[in-house]
Amino acid sequence: MQTILTSQILESDPKSQLAIVQYNRLLANKPNYKHMKNFAHFLLGIFLLFLQTTIHAQTAEAFLSQLPAVPNSVCNADQSGIDIFTDKIRKVQSVLQAKMEQYSNQAAATIDVNKEKILSTNAANVGISTSDMKKLANGNVSEKEAMSIANKSAQNRYGASIAELQKVANMSEAEQEKWAQEYANKQMQKAQRNPEVAAKKGEKAKRLYDLGMEQKAIADRLSIQWEKVRKAEKNYRYQDSVQSKILEKKLEPLIKDPVLSGGCASAAELQRARALEKQIYNLKKQHCEKMSPILLDYILQYQSALQMSFAEYARQTEIANELSKIQNGVKIIPVESSGLGGVDSYADQLLDAYKYWVPKLEN
């Protein structure tokens, strides 16, 4: 997380500046109970402000807001302005990537601390013992043992061995329907013998199904949302390929001119060399003026889609954690990590904003 000094927060916040003035007035007077109470409120307010700003700085939306705006004009920019633009992006990315690594390590630590719970929960879910699950996880089993464990799982979950299930897979459609009906009848009889367990299993199965359907719905919405970005990128890549070839063809005879490649021996040659350099510069600048609006449109489409996707990304993380809780017994993904990868990818696109810029000719 980006370090935020309390003094920086105070300097940027008018309410905090007023609080400082009040605090200084308190120091100028003899302290009494009322003043001490006001001072305590002051410290509490500063703490809450600091905490709020620190938490806010961790979100994907906050990191996006720290990146510079997409430039309106590219081809007439100064080198110093481009350097400031690029430096700001790289600084934000540095903090962002450190935060992503932190969350990745946090998830790995959660798995490591809860590995016994994860193993036992997964074992229960697939209908085998924790010791068998450990053997499979460590790869410490022979082929015969692995098949034996798989058969236990199949028998506990479906009331059939692996061999029987393979036979079902090779049955005709009518035979499979008959087998499914018999299986359903057996499950119903089990449910009648132990209705509470059956109800819990039914609720769990329904929740898994609902979460899976919601995941698919989110993925479908995101796909539609990012369609404009894909089209803008496709257009940009196509135009870049076509226009770069056109530019290269125009530049080739100018760059190969002996005056530029072999040096200038006379004033006339020097004048010609300068004329050629100006021609080259003008062609590159025309290329910049043609391609930059196309590239910037793609970057703006990317930014817009990303902003609209944050809520969906957050929900995807929540669903992933809920599924993990059901299947592994623990939530693994830090919710704060939602959307950070998208912002990092957008920052990479933004770094290309001045791709077609050409340094001005020196007189």
CA distance readout (Å), 285 to 35, 115, 278, 291, 353 = 66, 59, 10, 10, 15
pLDDT the model gives residue 197: 65
Quickly state the pLDDT bin for 265 (edges 50, 70, 90). low
**pLDDT at residue 166 above 90?**
no
- Select from 164, 184, 209 the last residue of a domain: 209
226 with 306: CB under 8 angstroms?
A: no
> pTM of the entire structure?
0.74
In tens, the pLDDT along 311-324 reads 999 999 999 999 99
- Select from 181, 209, 237 the last residue of a domain: 209
User: Which token pair is 100?
Assistant: 């992503």
CA distance readout (Å), 186 to 62, 150, 205, 253, 300 = 55, 21, 17, 83, 58
Please tell me whether residues 37 and 168 are part of one structural domain: no
In tens, the pLDDT along 16-27 reads 444 433 434 433
Give CA angle at 259 (257, 264), nearest 5°.
170
Please tell me whether residues 52 and 68 are part of one structural domain: no
Please tell me whether residues 204 and 215 are part of one structural domain: no
Quickly state the pLDDT bin for 34 (edges 50, 70, 90). very low
Percent of the chain exceeding pLDDT 70 equals 81
Which of 75, 72, 70 minimizes the C-alpha distance to 359?
Answer: 75
Work out the average pLDDT over 113-130. 85
Please tell me whether residues 147 and 201 are part of one structural domain: yes
Please tell me whether residues 103 and 185 are part of one structural domain: no
* Domain extent for 342: 62-114+210-363
- The listed range with the strongest mean pLDDT (3-17, 30-44, 163-177) is 163-177
260 with 276: CB under 8 angstroms?
A: yes
